[in-house]
A and B are shown apart, each in its own frame.
Chain A
């Protein structure tokens, strides 16, 4: 057992090294447009982390992340564009947006999480639809069909970001690292364990003294904070926000990102977001492929669900487990093969 633990640590360190290398070398290599695509992938990863908590840990399928992302984006846009008669410091605006969305998610969660599985999923779909309709039509707060432009530039300690997407990249990497750290912490605390028990069997969880309702509401509120944070970052990076970002189709995208990467794996979430966001842009120019890109991406989702419901990260861990079993079989007496758990 000790041995595997050490190996996991080595692979984690390797992944970290890879990430740091990417962080160091990526910004110099690409143009503004590609950088913005990568940044968007990071922002989407933040939203997907919310889904990782709700779906991966808690087993509750939610489409609601996008509604809160929209809420966060429009909150930040209103606070930083002078539409309300004042300009707030962007960092403060991001924090306020995240917090506000957390409060809203908490309030809505109190109502909606009384519902069980499928009903809750439907209620989040309804939420996305209602939010989108208001984003498109309600001019005073959301700018109507034209959206909100003239959002102030991002500033931290007096350093203006302007259109420097490299700075944005570093900022988002830090934010993402904090979010990933929080998620990993939650996984190991009482909240994470309660969520896992609800996912596996909510009746059993209830009899073991887990407050199922409160746990779900807390998870939903945390997912709301993440989505609000991501939305605010998105609005400030684009310096324009429109409603067409927040349609129902988009909300399925986050679920696909989380599932493709591996809904229960923190690295998987980032990989999934990068694959789904960046790959289409990379392959867009390739003649012959771009036409079938979306198609193959639907196919990828189906094939992954059939063979590897835990996504690319699940595939990697299953492969490494098999590899280890193979090695240890060769080295010494046969080790009892551990079944690859679906939820790990």
Chain B
């Protein structure tokens, strides 16, 4: 394997890992705050990609307008999800019920998207286009060609990670959310409006996944099967250590890199490699790379 291939695999894997990390962060936030394991996270990624496609290609909005509109739409989707699924089920006696409800949501999103946009996969133009060829703009560093879209994905991923960390480590709002996540009852006694923190958690979680979808839409075609990527995010969450955002990010990037390199080593078996590694982690180190801060609630 020469250096050239190695570098492009590295960038490819990290970019995909960033997308998984965006999803994984959302999963962790929901598990920590509400104890909901969201099996529709990947479908929100898919929906995010479709919303971006609709705004950018179907409505032909220019980027500076399109980005805030898309973010607003993602936040709205998060709120709708919260009020339709979490709210009626928050006192459910049967813990599996809410998980099944998210599986139902996953089916619904897939079908809604098919009804609105059709079932054919659709290409999405990259954010930076090469005006001569019409393809994605390439960055050339001493003979190694890298896609700008991947670099942008990595940058957006890093920016989102920094924002989440600033929120939870530095801001009062983040501390409120953290407190409500750890002990809802005492948080309410302290006067923290837990409904707002729950809503904020949902908005952040769904937006993160959707932004991931927006970023990766030009790299893959936009289609309904994008939802299955959530399994990679699950793998990242477990490998990193459940209940730990830092672990989830590193675990997801590890999964992205593993997948990227495995596609060269074993070809079609790359999925098996990722999930065998996941099984090995579950068997030999179920607490993941970074252990866990808070007890598993899901």
Residues of A that sit less than 8 Å from B by CB: 55, 59, 61, 111-112, 114-119, 121-123, 125-127, 129-130, 132-134, 136-137, 248-249, 252, 255-256, 259, 263, 291-292, 294-295, 297-302, 305-306, 309-310, 342-343
Contacts and interface: CB of A to CB of B under 8 A. Distances in A.
Contact of B231 (A59, A125, A305): A125
18 contacts: A59-B95, A61-B99, A115-B282, A121-B37, A126-B282, A129-B231, A129-B274, A130-B272, A130-B276, A134-B269, A248-B228, A248-B231, A256-B103, A259-B100, A263-B96, A302-B101, A302-B105, A309-B96
Contacts of A306: 88-89, 92, 101
B193 interface: no
A295 B111 contact: yes
Given A133-B268, A295-B111, A309-B94, A256 B100 contact: yes
Interface of A is mostly: helix
Interface stretch (B52-60, B70-78, B234-242): B234-242
B40 to A, nearest CB: 10
B298 interface: yes
Name the interface size band of chain B: 35 or more
Given A255-B103, A298-B107, A309 B279 contact: no
Contact of B104 (A115, A256, A263, A343): A256
Interface of B: 37, 39, 84-85, 88-89, 92-101, 103-108, 110-112, 114-115, 228, 231, 234-235, 238, 242, 268-269, 271-272, 274-276, 278-279, 282-283, 286, 296, 298
A119 B96 CA distance: 14
Q: Which of B85, B111, B112, B231 has the most CB of A within 10 A?
A: B111
B272 A133 contact: yes
Given A117-B298, A309-B97, A126 B283 contact: no
A136 B269 CA distance: 9
A112 B282 contact: yes
B101 to A, nearest CB: 4
B103 A61 contact: no
A144 B53 CA distance: 35
A305 B101 contact: yes
A144 to B, nearest CB: 10
Contacts of B106: 252, 298
B107 A125 contact: no
Nearest to B272: A133
Contacts of B104: 256, 298-302, 305
